[in-house]
Amino acid sequence: MTRILGIESSCDETAAAVVADGREILSSVVASQIDIHRKYGGVVPELASREHLRQIVPVVREALAQAGMQLADVDAIGVTQGPGLVGALLVGITYGKTLAMALGKPLVAVNHLAGHVHAVFLEAHRAGREAKLPAVCLIVSGGHTVLYQVKAAEAGGLLSYRKIGQTRDDAAGEAYDKVAKLLGLGYPGGPILDRLAVVANGAPAPVKFGPTKTRGNPLDFSFSGLKTAVLYHVREHPEYAEEIRTREEALQRGERKFEELQPLCSPQTLALVREFQNAVVRDLVERTVMAAEELGVESVLVSGGVAANSQLRATFEERGKSKGLEVFFPSRALSTDNAAMIAAAAYEKFRAGVFGDASLNADPGLVLA
Ligand code: KG4
Ligand code: ZN
């Protein structure tokens, strides 16, 4: 059995995990920095690096303790090389490198996006399912919205990726976060908008958002127009102003839970949130299904923070059934950033004998394909 310690620090989660043979999660610890970045309405890179520095040692220690292991029991160390914030990445890389050298264990550099793909495989394994490759994979988070074709590894090699579409502007999660901010619904925006959309029920739509048109590659995404349309709609309708102010005051008092904010939302606001979410989900699902049909694949993998969205999951399931596609998601905990997915991705490279060395450096713009 190969037990890999995974370390993730690319954005605002300090995470460590131990995964056996790339499939079985022995432990997974995630220290979120949301409380620190919240008052700025987004991740502040300098604060993120500092917080990673504070958290990295206890988080790794906790991951080992939960797996019932000592550092000496680890077979290799997998660490996120990029993409992400350079200062944040450097904390995990420096720590991982130092551990590997001090312990005399192999070091594996992991692409964060490959990690998100492996999050899907981890969950599939847990559920006793197997994703047939080639597949289409949608990675959809606060920093990324990108479509890949994923092909099986040749003997002893690595999975291969081909980028087939990406966002031209904002990531889908970023659109969620910006819309939540302008509506006075706090940060991050995804989880609360997800729940508010559900309770909108049949409230009449105050505005309709048509399908997003992108010139050129039909598999490319664009979310900044939708975000701007929400902004203009809110500006043109002064009746939103007062409830937004009321919610901002509630947020100031620390009342940011769904139960606290929902009563401060008019039916019109709830319906606006529903229409926004309908537009995002429709766009993500339609382009992904289009890609799967074009490439003639049978499986669709969906990963990243926005993959936690309940409507996205339900819509993919539904469309998948009607199109004969099998759709795979990570569990909600494995959808957002974590280190189990990094350890799982590291195992693939470990087996192929692809190792990093002391020269390993952060690569904030690292691409998967
Ligand atoms: O993967 P992740 O943890 O970090 C990045 O790599 O960006 O994703 C965080 C993003 C945030 O934008 C957050 O608003 C969004 O994922 N998110 C959601 C949901 N949960 C998290 N978006 C929509 N619905 C959700 N339930
Ligand atoms: Zn991520």
CA of 122 to the centre of ligand 1 (A): 19
Give the closest residue (by CA) to ligand 1 atom 8: 305
Give me the pLDDT at residue 60, please. Answer: 98
Phi-psi region of 113 (alpha: psi -120 to 50; beta: other; left: phi over 0): alpha
Q: Which ligand ends up closest to the CA of 144?
A: 1
Strands 299-303 and 135-140, bridge-based pairing:
parallel
Given the structure tokens 């991050």, which residue do they identify?
A: 188
Ligand closest in space to the Cα of 307: 1
Q: List ligand 1's pocket residues with C-beta within 6 A.
A: 11, 141-143, 173, 176-177, 188-191, 194, 304-306, 308-309, 336-337
Measure 48 CA to ligand 1 centroid, in angstroms.
17
CA distances 74 to 102, 230, 278, 358, Å, are 12, 50, 45, 18
The radius of gyration computed from the CA coordinates of the chain, to the nearest angstrom, equals 21
Quick one: which of 159, 160, 136, 140 has its CA closest to 148? 136
Identify residue 291 by its one-letter amino acid code.
Answer: A
Query: Please, which residues bridge with residue 300 across strands?
Result: 136, 327
Give the atom of ligand 1 at the shortest distance from the alpha carbon of 187: 14
Question: Which of 34, 176, 285, 311, when mutated, tests ligand 1's pocket best, judged by the most ligand atoms within 8 Å of its CB?
Answer: 176
- pTM of structure: 0.96
Structure confidence by residue, pLDDT tens digits, 168-210: 999 999 999 999 999 999 999 999 999 999 999 999 999 999 9
Query: Cα(41) to centroid of ligand 2, in Å?
Result: 18
Of all protein residues, the one whose alpha carbon is nearest to atom 7 of ligand 1 is 142
Alpha carbon of 76 to ligand 1 centroid (Å)? 29
68 C-alpha to center of ligand 2: Å? 27
Ligand 2 centroid to Cα of residue 263, in Å, is 32
Nearest to 116 by CA among 340, 355, 268, 289: 340
Q: What is the DSSP letter of 146?
A: E
Tell me what pLDDT residue 156 has: 80
Ligand 1, atom nearest to 308 Cα:
26
Nearest bound ligand to CA 114? 2
By the 10 Å C-beta count (0-12 exposed, 13-18 middle, 19+ buried), 216 is classed as exposed
pLDDT reported for residue 206: 98
Regions in the chain scoring below 50 on pLDDT: none
* Predicted pLDDT of residue 323: 97
